[in-house]
Chains A and B, each alone.
Chain A
Amino acid sequence: MADTALTAPPRSPLSRYADRLAATTRTSRGAVRLAELPFLAQLNVRLDAKGGAADAVGLALGLQLPLEPNTAIRAGELTALWLGPDEWLVVGPPGSERDLETRIRAAVGEEPVSVTDVSAQRTTLLVSGARALDLLAHGCPLDLHPRAFGAGRCAQTTLARTQVVLVARDEPGAGFWVLVRSSFASYLTDWLLDAATEYI
């Protein structure tokens, strides 16, 4: 039986929505661009920012852990998001979670650090296009104007009736990442597609 084990490709929380997201992107003629970025590696890292561990992790990953609240730092394919004064989310390309965990654990040595693979805990929606901000403003109470939430800002907040991690991507016009708990992903996507009605 094991020899005939299924080798089905992994299914992301929003795999069923791919067509509808693409259709909205198309019919809005770019006013809103919606897509799932599935399977990104996501590691929750907890450590004492006052100790040497933060720097050690920074060196090991080539990516400084941001110390300023609600900011993100990107280096190459890796992004570190500030989630709390002792908590970060390190986001990397699909499949890199084990390697990242190993590197982080090796870097900190004996210092108490918690590393938790949460790659499947949330999925990532890309929300961009000229009306991206308007789309999110339908349900996000934060001020997302570039002056207040420009490149390199991130925040844990609410969008519609669910909690999200919002990231302002660091190229102009590149829009936002919306990280949402997998169990809420269908609801939030239904909500976003409905909110986009006016732009298509």
Chain B
Amino acid sequence: MLLIPCPWCGPRDEAEFHYGGQAHVAYPADPSALTDEEWAKYLFFRANPKGPFAERWSHSAGCRRWFNAVRDTSTNEVLAVYRAGEERPATFEPRPVLPARPAFEDEAPSGPIGGPGAEPPDRTRARPLRFTFDGTEYQGVEGDTLASALLANGVIAAATSIKLGRPRGIFSAGVEEPNAVIQIEEPFPEPMLPAPAIELYDGLVATSLPGQGRLATTPDPARYDAVHDHCDLLIVGAGPAGLAAAAAAADSGARVILADDQPTLGGSLLGTGELADWAAELNTRLDAAPDVRILRRTTVFGYYDDNHLLAVERRTNHLGAKAPQNVSRERVHRIRARRVVLATGAHERSLAFADNDRPGVMLAASARTYLHRHGVLPGRHAVVFTTNDSAYAAALDLAASGVAISAIVDTRPEPGAWADRARAAGIEVLPGHAVTGTDGEARLTAVTVAPYGETTGQREFAADLLLVSGGWNPVAHLFSQSGGKLRYDEALGTFVPDAGRQAVEVAGSASGVFDLAGCLAQGAAAGARAIEAEGYTPEAPRLPQVPEQPQLTPPMQVFTVPGREGAPRFVDLQRDVTVDDLSRATGAGLRSVEHTKRYTTAGTANDQGKTAGVLASGVVAELLGVDISALGTTTFRPPYTPVSFAALAGRDRGTLSDPVRTTAVHEWHIEHGALFENVGQWKRPWYYPQDGEDMETAVLRECAAARDSVGFMDASTLGKIDVQGPDAGVFLDLLYTNMMSTLKVGMIRYGVMCRPDGMVFDDGTVIRLAPDRFLVTTTTGNAATVLDWMEEWLQTEWPELKVHCTSVTEQWATVALVGPRSREVLGSLAPQLAVSNDDFPFMAWRETTVAGIEARVCRISFSGELAYEINVSPWEALALWEALHEAGAPYGITPYGTETMHVLRAEKGYPIIGQDTDGTVTPQDLGMSWAVSKKKPDFIGKRSYARADAVRPDRKHLVGLLPEDPGTFLPEGTQLVADSVLPAPPVPMLGHVTSSYRSAALGRTFALALVKGGRERIGERLYAPVGGRLVPVTVASPVLYDPEGARRDG
């Protein structure tokens, strides 16, 4: 959502604005002096540059001002805004490109987070929770995820793979999980959720999935909602860097939001067991800080224009059946942040070695997380396979907790100080080695290793756990979505955020800083810089001491590992994509990771390749023999993790999905059995069926009442615009095709409005209230568009005109009283009104009281009958309506709806704009040349009537159609052809049916149609293909009822 700075109101959401096309295209001073070509250029030709482009915008949901903006069409950045009539600024500065991670002093050398961590939690002291997985009941504890609870029960195989049906185990401890994607059955079915991201609750019932989920068949009873949030600083991620950033900003007075996807703050610290006291203490402090909001269990999943970020908060999922019903289950936060610090951490990546998918193969840091966070050991006998130092800390922690580590297999020939520490702890380290194969079906049983790149010298270790670390990928998804660019870091062997144009910084391991001290320092600096830029004074937070770490040895870049002949080496576990699959893709000639992704589907599963993406790039680079830095990554798009449609829909469901506009008499219509038609957002009575009537019968009855006696209709939905000012007449003369300035006060005129291309765009009546004041009505659906149109011309082209336009649509309720007896009904309620035709002629209006209610009564007819439109305050509309109902009772007054209105007007050949027209129809096409002024020097559309196209003899005209069989009904949209036998395609089409009805007055069906040269065809027979046969129809005048107009005056 762009933030567009209105020159008057300041920055507002793009949704409040309305686009008006290229700016500075002035309406020609004298259109009649232009050649057809020049006029066509004005009408149809606009620039379409890449880069800065001056455009018109209207702040339509705000101050209603039109203004100009220079927008870069390639970046969408709004470079400048200026008021209508002002010159386009000569220069403007695009936003600078900002580094994702400004250089800061005393940057520590990067390495894995932490040393051996604290004591793991004691599960026996936590509250037990019961759950069911694949039909078996288990017990977990409070604080568990489904994955940790399964592991605690010795269950690691939690899925079978989608294509190959291979057993798969829990692979990670977070949202990056590719394997253990499960289905929740109770309390409410939900498919495809990663088990490590599901908080356990009592009564959870889940099943494993063969790759595909199952949607619920009953409606979700839970509430979902959304909120708009605003802050000076949004920090995404509450690991060491995010917490340090929050600490720096917390007490400054800046409004800070700290969002984290876990129930507890700490991020990676929860998985390493480090700095637990600091995190807890800070947690308490942040909770108490008045300007800090912590959003726990909240995943920021999308980063859009102008620091607009979307997040989903899981509010009651973790409560299971105990979730309160009045609290939304999930909430979407639409966050507008002045500054953002992304401290989103890093994901460990795997390696493509033989049979790397057996249950028991797990990312090394994830195993460490299960230990420290949940007190769970994912296995008993482990082999560790790594290319970097980080897996050593995991191995040491697990060993200290009782896991037998048979060997640490390190591809690096000289693993350095961490290896020494492991050896000191009694763990065998195999430098320059790699895993060449694994065994085991339901679970890993053995791991085969050999010197890296060789097949001889193999050793086999019995193991139920193989911990893998192929390096770390910064979680750069949000940064990339923000428009930021990534670069390949040779030293780290991965892609890191480089630079972008939004007000964002990346801190901690998300930026490629992998040591704890560095993360803390960098996070604090980023938080301080952000709020300082917003005018607040940061504090230097007290950062904890980090224990001295062994000297680091650089990681080795490894993607594929040679191994056992014929064994699959998986790259994307969730999609079952192997090195061989990628090899087929490159063999087929694909040279881009975007193409190999689509060819193999690697990275397209619902984990979006979080553990597989960079690995896939690395494998493809190896296959192509190029450097991975030249290939890059595939594009990161929102959402970062899957978001349910229910959450995105929120409360915009059912009756709240779209506004329903109602009139002041709406309740009466409901009580009297009306069925409703949607007209724009309005609900209009369609017809009022009486006991058992179908639509056809009801409409024929309503039509007959209006033609024979009296009917009434709620016409309040018509748009109404008050046009005031000394130049009001001049202005309306420019807008309408006919003359309005000559209208006398007290009188009414029908008018047609066209676009500059001459096509009809709206019609309605114009009432002259005073010499400098008119009331204009518009069609129901077009009221806002017409007002916008008027404002655009006034503000951008004719600012010198002293006219103001104000919507008064709801200021007045309107009742149409129609039929030969309408005069009697009105007369009985309006004793002060002289109702005779001489006193109150057609197209006049009077102010009076009707049923004691102040009213403006207009003699207008949309049916050809004697008719009145009575306008009153909507506060008194129901009283008026009921009075009419009562006063009309002796005449059988009948309420009628839009369908009857349509029939009555069609019988008279009155078009409905938008039904009988489609933006390609001129007033002349409608047979309304009489409404197009020949006297006015100019009006909008006039020049176009002199174009050759406007006077073509084969233009489509509005005509009547009479099926030869008076009972045959022509569906609207039916095409018309000349012959009784269809020729071979292409069949020349002569036109189509725009309106079609059964007429009580004519005693037959009839239609209106747009037909080529229609007025010259009156009397001709044409054919309408309906349901496989050609129906003969006769072209007629559009005015089929009372052509002499005898009924108008009663």
Q: Which among B224-232, B281-289, B622-630 touches the partner chain?
A: B224-232
Chain A 179-197 near chain B by CB (<8 Å), digits 1 or 0: 0011110111011001101
Residues from chain B with Cβ under 8 Å of A183 in the complex: 661-663, 682, 717, 809-810
- Asked whether, in the complex, the Cβ of A141 is within 8 Å of the Cβ of B65, the reply is no
In the assembled complex, B804 has its CB within 8 A of some CB on chain A: yes
Residues from chain A with Cβ under 8 Å of B400 in the complex: none
- Asked whether, in the complex, the Cβ of B62 is within 8 Å of the Cβ of A155, the reply is yes
Residues from chain A with Cβ under 8 Å of B809 in the complex: 121, 181, 183
- Asked whether, in the complex, the Cβ of A157 is within 8 Å of the Cβ of B804, the reply is no
Q: In the complex, which residue of chain B has the Cβ closest to the Cβ of A141?
A: B13
- Asked whether, in the complex, the Cβ of A7 is within 8 Å of the Cβ of B852, the reply is yes
Q: In the complex, which residue of chain A has the Cβ closest to the Cβ of B810?
A: A182
Q: Which among A11-19, A56-64, A169-177 touches the partner chain?
A: A11-19
- Asked whether, in the complex, the Cβ of A190 is within 8 Å of the Cβ of B810, the reply is no
Q: Which among A29-37, A72-80, A132-140 touches the partner chain?
A: A132-140
CA–CA, A16 to B830, complex, Å? 29
- Asked whether, in the complex, the Cβ of A6 is within 8 Å of the Cβ of B882, the reply is yes
Residues from chain A with Cβ under 8 Å of B10 in the complex: 69-70
- Asked whether, in the complex, the Cβ of B62 is within 8 Å of the Cβ of A157, the reply is yes
In the assembled complex, B933 has its CB within 8 A of some CB on chain A: no
- Tell me, rounded to whole Å, the shortest Cβ–Cβ distance linking A145 to chain B: 6
Q: In the complex, which residue of chain A has the Cβ closest to the Cβ of B62?
A: A156
In the assembled complex, B828 has its CB within 8 A of some CB on chain A: yes
A83-B63, A143-B336, A145-B230 given; A119·B811 CB < 8 A = yes
Q: Chain B interface (Cβ within 8 Å of chain A)?
A: 1, 8-10, 12-13, 15-16, 61-65, 223, 225-230, 255, 326-328, 334, 336, 651-652, 655-656, 658-664, 666-667, 682, 717, 722, 724-726, 802, 804, 806-812, 828-831, 849, 851-853, 873-876, 878-879, 882-883, 887
Residues from chain B with Cβ under 8 Å of A46 in the complex: 724, 804, 806
- Asked whether, in the complex, the Cβ of B875 is within 8 Å of the Cβ of A10, the reply is yes
- Asked whether, in the complex, the Cβ of A140 is within 8 Å of the Cβ of B228, the reply is yes
- Tell me, rounded to whole Å, the shortest Cβ–Cβ distance linking A67 to chain B: 11
In the assembled complex, A26 has its CB within 8 A of some CB on chain B: no
Q: Chain A interface (Cβ within 8 Å of chain B)?
A: 1-2, 5-8, 10-13, 16, 39, 44, 46, 69-70, 83-87, 112, 114-122, 134, 137-143, 145, 147-148, 155-158, 160-163, 181-184, 186-188, 190-191, 194-195, 197-198, 200
- Asked whether, in the complex, the Cβ of A120 is within 8 Å of the Cβ of B656, the reply is no
A85-B8, A118-B811, A121-B807 given; A11·B63 CB < 8 A = no
CA–CA, A148 to B9, complex, Å? 13
- Asked whether, in the complex, the Cβ of A156 is within 8 Å of the Cβ of B61, the reply is yes
CA–CA, A143 to B15, complex, Å? 15
CA–CA, A155 to B9, complex, Å? 8
CA–CA, A138 to B223, complex, Å? 13
Residues from chain A with Cβ under 8 Å of B15 in the complex: 141, 158
Residues from chain B with Cβ under 8 Å of A160 in the complex: 656, 659
**What are 10 A-B pairs at a CB distance below 8 A?**
A1-B887, A10-B876, A112-B726, A143-B336, A155-B62, A157-B16, A160-B656, A161-B652, A183-B682, A188-B659
- Asked whether, in the complex, the Cβ of B227 is within 8 Å of the Cβ of A138, the reply is yes
A141-B228, A157-B61 given; A84·B8 CB < 8 A = yes
- Asked whether, in the complex, the Cβ of B656 is within 8 Å of the Cβ of A194, the reply is yes
- Asked whether, in the complex, the Cβ of B810 is within 8 Å of the Cβ of A84, the reply is no
- Asked whether, in the complex, the Cβ of B659 is within 8 Å of the Cβ of A184, the reply is yes
Q: In the complex, which residue of chain B has the Cβ closest to the Cβ of A162?
A: B659
Residues from chain A with Cβ under 8 Å of B722 in the complex: 114, 116
- Asked whether, in the complex, the Cβ of B62 is within 8 Å of the Cβ of A116, the reply is no
Contacts beyond the supplied A118-B806, A145-B230, A156-B9: 11 A-B pairs with Cβ under 8 Å? A11-B879, A46-B804, A46-B806, A70-B10, A112-B802, A121-B808, A138-B226, A155-B9, A158-B16, A183-B661, A194-B651
- Asked whether, in the complex, the Cβ of B875 is within 8 Å of the Cβ of A197, the reply is no
CA–CA, A36 to B646, complex, Å? 32
Q: In the complex, which residue of chain B has the Cβ closest to the Cβ of A182?
A: B810
Residues from chain A with Cβ under 8 Å of B336 in the complex: 141, 143
A11-B878, A137-B228 given; A5·B852 CB < 8 A = yes
Interface residue from A84, A134, A197 paired with B64 (Cβ < 8 Å): A84
Interface residue from A44, A156, A182 paired with B63 (Cβ < 8 Å): A156
CA–CA, A181 to B783, complex, Å? 13
- Asked whether, in the complex, the Cβ of A2 is within 8 Å of the Cβ of B651, the reply is no
Residues from chain B with Cβ under 8 Å of A116 in the complex: 722, 724, 806, 808, 811
Residues from chain A with Cβ under 8 Å of B651 in the complex: 138, 191, 194-195
Residues from chain A with Cβ under 8 Å of B658 in the complex: 161
